Chains A and B, each alone.
Chain A
Amino acid sequence: MTGKYILEVEGASQQYFDQSEKSFQVLNNINLQIREGEFVTIVGPTGCGKSTLLRMILGSERPSAGNVLMDQKPILKPDRNRGVVFQKYSLFDNLTVRQNVRIGLELENFSIFGNLLNTVFPGWKYEEYSTLVDEYLERVGLLQHGDKYPYQLSGGMRQRVAIAQAMIMKPKVLLMDEPFGALDAGTKDQMHAFMLEQWQQTGQTILFVTHDLEEAVYLGTRVIVLSQYYQGANGAKIVKDFNTPWPHPRDQSVKEEELFQDMIKTIRNQGLNSNYLLNQEEFDLSHADAIQLAS
C-alpha cells in the first residue's frame, strides 16, 4: 500500500527512573504506522505504558531511543496539529464551561488589540465564536451548564467539556486517554455516537486509549493491544494489531454480533492474558500496516 502515513513510531523505547534512581524500561522497541483518518484504539493491562506512548506521540515526552514522526517530520514538542484529552486535569478550573470550550479559539486568534477591546466591551469579539461554541456544547449535552465552573460539574460532565474543548480546534490528530472512563453506560453510548459522527465529518486521525474492550472494538477501525507480559519481557510491546471489519457509520447492533463478541474474547484471552502471552513465540499482528519484526 502506498497510502500516506500520518504518524510513524520507529523503534521507540522509553526508560524511566524509579525512586532508587534505577532505570526501567516501559516501552520496548515500539513500531507503529498510522494512516490519516484511522480511528485507532489502544488497550492493555494497567501500567503497560499506554499513556506513555500517547505522550510520546503528543510530543510532551521524547523516547529514550527511536523516533516518532508526524507527516515524516520528527515530533519534538506538542503543537497545534495534535489535540489531547487527558485522563484528568484537562480543564482550566478558573474558566466556565463555555470559556473552557472557547479558550482555544481565543488563543489561536489572539491579538492584543482584540483582547483590549474585549476587556472594555466584554463579549464583543467572543460573539463571533458563540454559535460555534454553543453548537459544541449542545453536542456534548452541556448547553444548559455553560456558565458553571468545573468544580460544579460531575466527573463525566467535565470529561465531555474536555472533549468539546479539544474537538472545537479540529486538530489533524486527536489523542484521547480514557476519556470516557468515568461515564455511565447511557452517556457513554451518546458520546460514542458523537465521537464517530465528529470523526467522520472531520476525517481526523484519532488515537484512543481505553480499558473498555467493547468500546475499543466498537469505536476503532484498528485495535492495538500493548502488553509488558511476554517471553523475555523488558518493557511493553505491541502484542496485537488488527482491523475491525465493520464499515462506518456503525450501528449499535454490531455489538450483538458473534464476531464482535469473539473479538473481545480474543483480546481478553490472548492479548490481556499473561499466561497465554508468555507461552507465545510470535505476536498476532494481522493488520496490514503492522511491522512484524523477526524475533
Chain B
Amino acid sequence: MLSVTKRSSWTDTLLSIFLFVLIIILYQYFAHQRHLLNPHDKLVPTFAQMLDAFTRSTFEPDRNGVYRLLDDTLASGQRVLISMVFVFGGVLMGAYMGLFPVMDKLFYKFFLFFDKIPALAILPILFIFFGLGEVSKVALIVIGVVPTIILDTYLRAKAFPQEQVIKAITMSASKSQIIFKIILPKIFPMALDSIRLNFKAIVLFLISGEALAATAGLGYRIFVVRRYMAMDIIISYVIWIGLLSYLIDAGICLWIKKQYRWYNK
C-alpha cells in the first residue's frame, strides 16, 4: 500500500506534528468537559489557563515581588551548573582510571558499587551529612549521575586503541599529555553524548532534591503549588522543564555535530 514516492515536505511536517496536535485536542476537549461540570476545576486546566499561569509566573511579579519562573529557573540552573563541574570532573576521573592501573584498581569497584546504589534512597543520609542547603541538592545529582559518567568514560578510555597510545609515546608524549592531548579530545564528544543522555536523570535528581528542601527552584515550585492544586502552574512548569531539557539536548547535539565533525563517522 505504501509506495516509496517522495512526499512533499509539508505533508511530512504535518505527519510529524500530528500526534502532538491530536493529544492537545483530546486534552483540551477533556478539560473543557470537566470545566462544564465544574467551572472551578483545577485538576485538569485548559490550555488557556496554563498559558495564563505561565504568563503570570513569567511576566508578573508574585506576592513577594519575584518573577517566579526566572527565579526558579536561575536557582535550578545554578544547581545543575555546579553539578556539571563535578560531571566533567567525572569525565577526567574516568580517563585517569582507564589509563592508570593503580587508579583503576583503587576506584573501579568502588564506583561500580556506588553506581548501583539508588541515590534517592540514601537522600535522608545526604541531608544529615550535608544539611538542607545547596550542598545536599548538588550532592544528590553528583551521587546519582557522576558514577555513571565515570564508568562510561572509563570504559571508553579502556577501549581506546592501544596502538595510538604507543604511537603517542614514541612521539615523546608524557602521561598527562596522553590524557589531555590524546585520549580526552577523542572521547570528549562521547562523554558529551553520555551527559546528554543522562540529562534526564540530572533533572530527576534535581527535582527530587528541590522537593525535599528548598526556597526556590523548578522542582520546589511544582511541589509547593501542589498544596493548592494549581495544576495549571504545575503543567506549565513541566512543559517548561521539558522544553529546556529538549533545547539543551539539541544544543549539545548541534555542538557535537559542528565541533566534532569526525565523531560518529
Q: Which residues of A contact B (CB under 8 A)?
A: 58, 60, 77-80, 82-84, 86, 88-90, 92-95, 103-104, 106-108, 110, 149-151, 165-166, 169, 171
Contacts and interface: CB of A to CB of B under 8 A. Distances in A.
Given A60-B166, A84-B166, A93-B186, A108 B172 contact: yes
A133 to B, nearest CB: 14
A106 B181 CA distance: 10
Interface centre among B167, B181, B186, B260 (most CB of A within 10 A): B167
Given A58-B166, A94-B185, A104 B262 contact: no
Contacts of A92: 164, 182, 186
Given A92-B164, A104-B171, 8 more contacts: A79-B170, A80-B171, A89-B161, A90-B164, A103-B181, A107-B171, A107-B172, A108-B171
Contacts of A83: 170-171
Interface string B82-96: 000000000000000
Nearest to B265: A151
B173 interface: yes
Nearest to B184: A94
Given A93-B186, A94-B186, A149 B173 contact: no
A84 to B, nearest CB: 5
A171 B167 CA distance: 12
Contacts of B163: 86, 88-90
B177 interface: yes
B interface bracket (residues with beta carbon within 8 Å of A): 20 to 34
A94 B188 CA distance: 10
Interface in B149-185: 161-164, 166-174, 177, 181-182, 185
Interface string B126-159: 0000000000000000000000000000000000
Contacts of B185: 94-95
A58 B170 contact: yes
Closest 10 CB pairs of A and B: A104-B171, A151-B265, A89-B163, A149-B262, A80-B172, A89-B161, A94-B186, A107-B173, A108-B172, A78-B169
B261 interface: yes
A103 B171 contact: yes
12 contacts: A78-B169, A84-B170, A90-B164, A103-B168, A104-B171, A106-B181, A107-B177, A149-B262, A151-B265, A165-B167, A165-B171, A171-B170
